[in-house]
Structure 1
């Protein structure tokens, strides 16, 4: 009998029965590597019948551990391949026993496939849980933590070992956690409700606040009993709480909410998400004074006490923060030296600490302070710092937005240059003054227009003109009463509103202003004499509505201009007719331009040396069916006043070029045409391009066109005007200075300008034969022109004596009634033909005289 047989035979029946009933598979292998025992559980695991196994070699079991050292014990979970090819996970435990001097191996095997699968699934769940950025907590029914993921550790600072076994409420809840809300949610879950969520403030390991959205659910067993509570915590500090501040500010700004209400709403919201602070927002004005904007939790008397305090190096937390532009923390108001003069009121209401941060505009100005007050001596938490970082930017945006809108509103109602009320605001002020005017009293309205302001702009430039208006506004302010109001309509027009003033009182004010303006203004290094014309209308004597009052004051001012300027006029009924005439004339002029009713007449320019035609000057003419012939001296200034002069100038160039092209096609040889342009035309940077297009359109060479400009056009400092003049000269179009000698010309500057021609003003022609002064000026102009290589033209020549004087001076060209007035095109053509014929006859006469002389010389010889 073998040792194995002995082992089985000698095994008690009870033991054999126990081995058969065991849940684990039990296999005994003898020292010859044969299977001697194979219980029922083993049959199930290996799917082999006992009769097919007993006595067989143990290799049939596919266990590598049976080939190892027979003395060594073995314990391991393996993947077991069964005879039918299927696989299971099996827990194998093997030990050795000595029986009758032989070593037997006893193998215990258990199918752990389900456990292994469950462990894999649990491992995957752990991996997934650790990959999410949301904190996971699982507790038992008593809320003791049984599991936390890595996101929980990252968010709260507790390791899994530190968290497991502790109650969740003790670990992360704090003084401002909504414990009651969480308890209600858990109670509903245990009662069978579906999952729910709550937003609450919790705390990390260091005591720092974290706003979370907690989603809670219950894990139940097969009988529906709650076994675990599952909580998924999402940090909403940034995504929701701080963003809610941004949404609050943006929504309030979009709804045009007043800045004080915006500040209060911001403070209330901050106190909701940071319950342990009292919030305050103060505005710092341009003078460095403090003004409360928001602080709904502060007593009103405390806020009023802050209003108007000047910032400084030791003015509490806010005043000091604003002064230095840096955050200031006072952890204990009782002892902080910066708070000693101010601590009584905050301490009385239980505020013990204050942290203030300056709010800065984009340009670096401190425009506000944002402060947290605490009810205990302490420093701000990281959560508080994050709130302040957000609120400082939002507060700056809100305040700057409101400042910008206030500035826009100010600009809408105030003149940018002088800061005075503009036309829109003046109407409101006048309406208010009229509404407040007691029965039997008056409101006077004075219109003031600067005399010869255009000359300042034309000669010294617009910068000087702007400076003059600024100084004028300052001087006017000094000479009106505290109840009077000064405004600017635009350009050089001002309005003075004089409430409670009758006619005599208003005229006294006007006289005082006229006298005050007699002293010249200093513009840079120059003293500029100035004056103004003033027109006055009176409510209710002259009119009861604003528009009529303003029209009447304007009409009276216009009459002051006609009276010689530097004076004032009170409105009278007779002025209405004059105003209506002027308005009617403007309307007729606009219509004439639109309908092409303007025409050009042409005055010849004659060379002094031989009487040949030098060119023609094109002069605008206007004949109206109702008004008749309107003088250029009347409608040209009117066009400048009402903004039509540039349009007339360009029309004149086009029409003159068209006529020149027509004459040339007809065989009339006219060298050039001169057209008068306003200085306004030369401020248009596109003028040269427009001229080039017009010349190309009529196929004219550029030297066929001469532009006449006043001295003011080239004396002004406008860079655009000078660039335009140079562009015109480069184009080849000539530039002629009209009325030279009557303005403010600088000879040194004239030499560097692209001028081709000088014209002696007609005012010097009348007395050139008898007045030494007129002759001296004409002589000087000729000499200047000759010295600079320019052509000199004498205007207004009406007598042979004047022509002779100019010829003797060396004046190149003369123009005037001596030869012809300005003629319509057809009349000019007839004149030109006659003039050419006369020139021919004169030349033949000179030839005849020369021939007779030659004959006489031969006879005498």
Structure 2
């Protein structure tokens, strides 16, 4: 009912009653701007008594001056009903303000003022007010929440129970490209789910929502441009009091950089730290990439130093196609990968079928349904291309931005993995291969044999052959280390040429080699050993010289002799020493007897080390007698070893053992010191010994400090240098090292004598002999055995004596045991003799007594000779003895 329908008499009460029922606060202002009428809602809103409101000015009530009425037109008339009817449809002033109540509280008020057109009533303006405090708080909270959501880097989506979007924040627009207006009302699934989104994950998200559980999943979805975006989706349902879903809130985080690509980095780093093979790393990297980009097939190739590709990873490619790529040379028209590696830039073939670079290679990928290929080179730190990273597509297309991000990360990871593998290969080559010959070295050989044993079929044999080059030291010492290296390379090449596929060859070190002969029974192993021995018999040309080559070889059979690697090598080594003792340039198989000898050798070498360390060796002394008058020419100091357990050990055993074990130099130094000390003791005792001879090894002469050390020993014992004679074997003649010759000259200049021992048994060269600073030649005892009866031996001895005479050096014959031998040597003009005919080697005390007895015996002989001479001179043979005796007394 309209106010205009009220009768004037009844309109005022009815209007008041009606106004009191209105929820909005209403104030009527008169022409003076005071409150003319108010309803109960106004009193409640302004928190004042209704009566106190009438007559109050709006400013007293906390209202702004703008609410004051405008003056009425001159012809304005009307009643209360006309006041309302005359109000404008639109307020002429509106605002939202905060007012303070008498009790100090505050309220937010929405105010509208309407000018009344009628001047028949006192009211000139109508104020409508509404308390919007709660609404403002909610609005401010919503604005704050929206502001916070817009500042987040996580996309926020609010949807109704039908998954229609109600709200999206600024991050949603930034990540997915949809503005809030474009997203509003759209169904979430239709807007974001694409061809490679996992439907199982989508269903799992929906189910968890229905089950009243918040859920978080990694999900591949798509932006407005159709590009892939990996997100972590956290979805939570909000329900009303009845438990029905009212709306859904989803938080979507872009995890492409922070999680997915980082997972690839973690994969590579952990794999590298775990020492995983490069192929395993590459395959796993490809699998992870294909999870991140389900619409691609991934491939990684290695490019070697020769510019050829080798598959590293590509588990989703057909194996036959991957195998066909192995060894293909890169070039400007070699598919996508070969061209990318050659040009060092990414290459995209949108259509493999028509791309000219793919024509010779397209059958493989096209047969697997792969239509396009995008390849990016992998570069090392030095800029060279070391690999390629490729994406194959099942459609004729190019990469998306997400693909480009993946490749950018994977190229760096691939570079790290490949360079690490190259470094490991280099280290492995150095650590497990001999740098000179390129063969597996000592560290690699045990695993090499283990691989051979593992591959050995049940019931089959294999042989481990241990080879030692004969006389390699002579080559090294005579021709120098460079020639020795060339010899070893030639030796290794000879061996390579004789082994068949499946056999293995390695170098233990020095001149020692190992061959593993696969699937050989004893007969076959013997034939192989004979063939290798024959192949090594041909001399090797080094420079302009023909150098003889041969090897001593020992063989041990698996599983007959042993089943473990260490024992097989040990047994083959023992058999090799048996071959050396058998004359060299031959081979021997391991047997139990060899094992026994090896144990004995080990026991002796251990005891010898202890004897040297504890100075348990002794020197025995054997005199050398001048041929012309029987006087003492000198004395030779000979090392002897008596072990508490082993007993007397022959020098023929322990001297070669010392040479094998590297102890001979220590024995030589000890011998010089001990012999010089003994010589000084004899001199103090008044014994007249012209010089003492000490045996040294050619190894001693390689010590540049030998001369200085000898000088120090002589000085410590107050001995003149001429009283020391150092005996050396013919091996020193083969040694052309400058150090050895310089050491010999230095000793000779000091006055120390040098004696060439065992002359005639080795490789003596008269031309070299003439250049050596020697003072004495010694004829080996082996010539004395047949000297009396064999004309050939006598001729050799005669030649040696003549050589000594021509070089003006003394000649001493060893091993003289019979009087006929002595007489023959005397007839030849040999200067001195040494052997059992005169005395056996003796301890120092025994030698002192022998020397006194011998001197007395010589004196007695001389007296007899003098007596005979006097008797002949006086003609009285009977009186002579008495006169001689008187003269002697």
Normalising by structure 2, we get a TM-score of: 0.64
Q: Residue 340 of structure 2: SS of its match in structure 1?
A: helix
State the partner residue of 2:661. 642
Give the direction of change, closer, same or farther, for the CA distance of 1:211–1:530 in structure 2 (3 Å limit): same
State the partner residue of 2:140. 120
Mapped to 1, the partners of 2:211 and 2:586 lie a distance apart of 96
| One of 433, 437, 443 as aligned partner of 1:418 | 437
Mapped to 1, the partners of 2:419 and 2:582 lie a distance apart of 51
Q: Residue 147 of structure 2: SS of its match in structure 1?
A: helix
State the partner residue of 1:62. 62
Residue 209 of structure 1, CA deviation: 0.2
Alignment of 1:430-445 (within 5 A): none
Q: Is the 8 A contact 2:337 2:390 kept in 1?
A: yes
Count of residue pairs the alignment pairs up: 709
Q: Is the 8 A contact 1:443 1:539 kept in 2?
A: yes
Q: Is the 8 A contact 1:216 1:232 kept in 2?
A: yes
Alignment of 1:191-340 (within 5 A): 193-245=212-264, 265-282=284-301, 284=303, 288-292=307-311, 294-307=313-326, 309-340=328-359
Structure 2 residue 28 is the aligned partner of structure 1 residue 28 = yes
State the partner residue of 1:712. 702
Mapped to 2, the partners of 1:20 and 1:382 lie a distance apart of 68
Residue 382 of structure 1, CA deviation: 1.5
Mapped to 2, the partners of 1:12 and 1:618 lie a distance apart of 155
Mapped to 2, the partners of 1:796 and 1:405 lie a distance apart of 63
| One of 169, 177, 191 as aligned partner of 1:149 | 169
State the partner residue of 1:48. 48
Q: Is the 8 A contact 1:711 1:745 kept in 2?
A: no
Q: Residue 143 of structure 1: SS of its match in structure 2?
A: coil
State the partner residue of 2:540. 519
Alignment of 1:527-566 (within 5 A): 529=547, 531-537=549-555, 554=573, 557-558=576-577, 561=580
Mapped to 2, the partners of 1:407 and 1:64 lie a distance apart of 89
Worse-matched range after superposition: 419-428 or 105-114:
419-428
| One of 129, 147, 156 as aligned partner of 1:136 | 156
Give the direction of change, closer, same or farther, for the CA distance of 1:47–1:634 in structure 2 (3 Å limit): same
Question: What is the root-mean-square deviation of aligned Cα atoms in Å?
Answer: 5.8
Give the direction of change, closer, same or farther, for the CA distance of 1:121–1:482 in structure 2 (3 Å limit): closer
Q: Is the 8 A contact 1:531 1:565 kept in 2?
A: no
| One of 372, 376, 397 as aligned partner of 1:357 | 376
Give the direction of change, closer, same or farther, for the CA distance of 1:414–1:81 in structure 2 (3 Å limit): same
Structure 2 residue 732 is the aligned partner of structure 1 residue 744 = no
State the partner residue of 1:788. none
State the partner residue of 2:494. 475
Residue 152 of structure 1, CA deviation: 1.1
Give the direction of change, closer, same or farther, for the CA distance of 1:100–1:233 in structure 2 (3 Å limit): same
Mapped to 1, the partners of 2:194 and 2:406 lie a distance apart of 19
Runs of 5+ in structure 2 lacking a partner?
A: 1-7, 72-90, 623-635, 682-693, 717-723, 761-765, 777-808, 814-833, 835-839, 850-889
| One of 322, 337, 342 as aligned partner of 2:361 | 342
Worse-matched range after superposition: 498-507 or 346-355:
498-507
1:16-45 deviations in Å (ceiling 9; x for gaps): 444333322222344545332232112112
Mapped to 1, the partners of 2:182 and 2:599 lie a distance apart of 96
Q: Residue 377 of structure 1: SS of its match in structure 2?
A: coil
1:339-374 deviations in Å (ceiling 9; x for gaps): 122334433443221112344566766555433221
State the partner residue of 1:488. 507
1:56-81 deviations in Å (ceiling 9; x for gaps): 44442122435889589532211211
Give the direction of change, closer, same or farther, for the CA distance of 1:307–1:513 in structure 2 (3 Å limit): closer
Q: Is the 8 A contact 2:374 2:399 kept in 1?
A: yes
Q: Is the 8 A contact 1:141 1:228 kept in 2?
A: yes
1:77-118 deviations in Å (ceiling 9; x for gaps): 112111111111111223444765999444332211101111
1:772-819 deviations in Å (ceiling 9; x for gaps): 9989854999xxxxxxxxxxxxx99999xxxxxxxxxxxxxxxx9xxx
Mapped to 2, the partners of 1:106 and 1:571 lie a distance apart of 127
Alignment of 1:763-782 (within 5 A): 763=756, 777-778=772-773
Residue 338 of structure 1, CA deviation: 0.2
Runs of 5+ in structure 1 lacking a partner?
A: 1-7, 604-616, 664-674, 680-708, 715-720, 782-794, 800-815, 831-861
1:693-726 deviations in Å (ceiling 9; x for gaps): xxxxxxxxxxxxxxxx844344xxxxxx99xx99
Worse-matched range after superposition: 156-165 or 218-227:
218-227
Residue 482 of structure 1, CA deviation: 6.4
Give the direction of change, closer, same or farther, for the CA distance of 1:119–1:530 in structure 2 (3 Å limit): farther
State the partner residue of 1:509. 531
Give the direction of change, closer, same or farther, for the CA distance of 1:277–1:651 in structure 2 (3 Å limit): farther
Residue 235 of structure 1, CA deviation: 2.0
Residue 136 of structure 1, CA deviation: 0.3
Mapped to 1, the partners of 2:768 and 2:414 lie a distance apart of 73
Residue 248 of structure 1, CA deviation: 5.8
Residue 508 of structure 1, CA deviation: 4.8
State the partner residue of 2:178. 158
Normalising by structure 1, we get a TM-score of: 0.66
Mapped to 2, the partners of 1:758 and 1:141 lie a distance apart of 115
Mapped to 1, the partners of 2:455 and 2:52 lie a distance apart of 123
Structure 2 residue 377 is the aligned partner of structure 1 residue 384 = no
Structure 2 residue 189 is the aligned partner of structure 1 residue 169 = yes
| One of 754, 759, 764 as aligned partner of 1:761 | 754
Q: Is the 8 A contact 1:330 1:336 kept in 2?
A: yes
Q: Residue 149 of structure 2: SS of its match in structure 1?
A: helix
Give the direction of change, closer, same or farther, for the CA distance of 1:465–1:158 in structure 2 (3 Å limit): farther
Q: Residue 177 of structure 1: SS of its match in structure 2?
A: coil
Give the direction of change, closer, same or farther, for the CA distance of 1:749–1:205 in structure 2 (3 Å limit): farther
Q: Is the 8 A contact 2:33 2:69 kept in 1?
A: no
State the partner residue of 1:449. 468
Q: Is the 8 A contact 2:349 2:374 kept in 1?
A: yes
Mapped to 2, the partners of 1:307 and 1:406 lie a distance apart of 19
Residue 231 of structure 1, CA deviation: 1.4
Mapped to 1, the partners of 2:400 and 2:665 lie a distance apart of 69
Residue 648 of structure 1, CA deviation: 7.8
Residue 450 of structure 1, CA deviation: 3.0
Q: Is the 8 A contact 1:542 1:549 kept in 2?
A: no
Q: Is the 8 A contact 2:58 2:64 kept in 1?
A: no
State the partner residue of 1:79. 98
